[in-house]
Amino acid sequence: MNDYKDWLQAELQETLDEDIELEMEDAALSAEIRRIYRSHHPDQMDRKLYFRELLRLQSELIRLQDWVSHNNERVVVLFEGRDSAGKGGAIKRITQRLNPRVARVVALPAPSDREKTQWYFQRYVPHLPAGGEIVLFDRSWYNRAGVERVMGFATEDQVEQFFQDVPEFERMLVRSGIRLVKYWFSITDEEQQMRFQMRIHDPLKQWKLSPMDLQSRVRWEAYTKAKEDMFERTNIPEAPWYIVPGNDKKRARLNCIDHLLGLIPYGDVDHEQITLPDRVFNPDYERDAVPRELYVPQKY
């Protein structure tokens, strides 16, 4: 029991260190911006409790990964939502400890001129999972119902065709054996504005602000209307939408992971016991000296 407690304490500390590196939360922000943000989030989750729960859920994700791999299951998870709603943070925590050969993230750029002439779903199909794989889409084919529609990159006829096609496309995926899960991360107008302001003033996060992100502020109501239409026409029994309230980042991550685990009937997989073999020493082997210039300079 003491060994377990020692392991848990060490793992929590490592998780804390990794999360700080991963997030660099408020790293370059002024004291005033930090004060304003924290004043709007007085009921923040206890940091130690957050990491303890995150570690527990991530250990369950590893069990899920083993089950998916062992049973040749195919899992697709779509992450959609407002810009800065926390999709990326949730995806990072899900994949943080998983095998990248099993769980991978797909975040496609804007379509090329050639892709614009293809069947709309064509560029997404090659990224669907084979047996034993989990694919997480950081935005997906629902771009057509959101940014492409609001920004005028797709005509109303194209949008209408999408709404007619996507339910059957997703039913085809489910009938083929793919487990399809769709998440929408939701934040308030005020929260999005605050997060955008933080990105503007944080050099470590300025890359996250694109022209499309800035336009999402101007066209907030248009995006709201597009989201409502999307829910109404694509919330099908075979692949329903699940909304994740995202104003509190930490709770949103935990709730999303916990919910995802609850949707899939995974179980334990038997593994052969691993034993470390003895090192074999060859008395005739002599290691060649490696030239010093091949080493990376030890600056730290």
> For the domain that residue 150 is a member of, what is the CATH number?
3.40.50.300
Least confident of 12-16, 60-64, 245-249: 12-16
The pLDDT of residue 282 is 87
Alpha helices in the chain (DSSP H): 2-23, 31-39, 47-70, 87-95, 147-150, 156-175, 189-201, 211-218, 220-234, 249-263
For the chain, the average pLDDT equals 88
Q: What pTM was estimated for this model as a whole?
A: 0.85
The pLDDT of residue 134 is 98
**Domain annotation covers residue 83:** yes
Query: Which amino acid belongs to residue 242?
Result: Y
pLDDT band at 103 (very low <50, low <70, confident <90, very high): very high
Least confident of 20-34, 71-85, 135-149: 20-34
pLDDT over threshold 60, residue 181? yes
SS3 for 61-99 is: HHHHHHHHHHCCCEEEEEEEECCCCCHHHHHHHHHCCCC
**Domain annotation covers residue 196:** yes
Cα distance between residue 253 and residue 261, in whole Å: 12
What's the structural domain count of the chain? 1
- The token duo for 25 is 């939360």
The pLDDT of residue 104 is 97
Domain that holds residue 136: 38-111+125-266
**Domain annotation covers residue 58:** yes
Cβ count within 10 A of residue 2: 6
pLDDT band at 11 (very low <50, low <70, confident <90, very high): low
Q: 181 or 40: which carries more pLDDT confidence?
A: 181
**Domain annotation covers residue 17:** no
**Domain annotation covers residue 116:** no
Cβ count within 10 A of residue 197: 14
Dump pLDDT digits (tens) for 24-81: 554 555 566 667 767 777 788 888 899 999 999 999 999 999 999 999 999 999 999 9
Q: 196 or 131: which carries more pLDDT confidence?
A: 131
DSSP state of 170: H
DSSP state of 236: B
Cα distance between residue 228 and residue 288, in whole Å: 67
Dump pLDDT digits (tens) for 265-280: 999 999 888 898 998 8
**Domain annotation covers residue 13:** no
Contact 120, 153 (CB under 8 A): no
The pLDDT of residue 243 is 98
**Domain annotation covers residue 118:** no
The pLDDT of residue 271 is 86
Region for residue 169 given its phi and psi (left: phi exceeds 0; alpha: psi -120 to 50; beta: otherwise)? alpha
The average pLDDT across 146-169 equals 96
**Percent of the chain residues topping a pLDDT of 90:** 65
Contact 103, 134 (CB under 8 A): yes
**Domain annotation covers residue 129:** yes
Query: Which amino acid belongs to residue 176?
Result: S
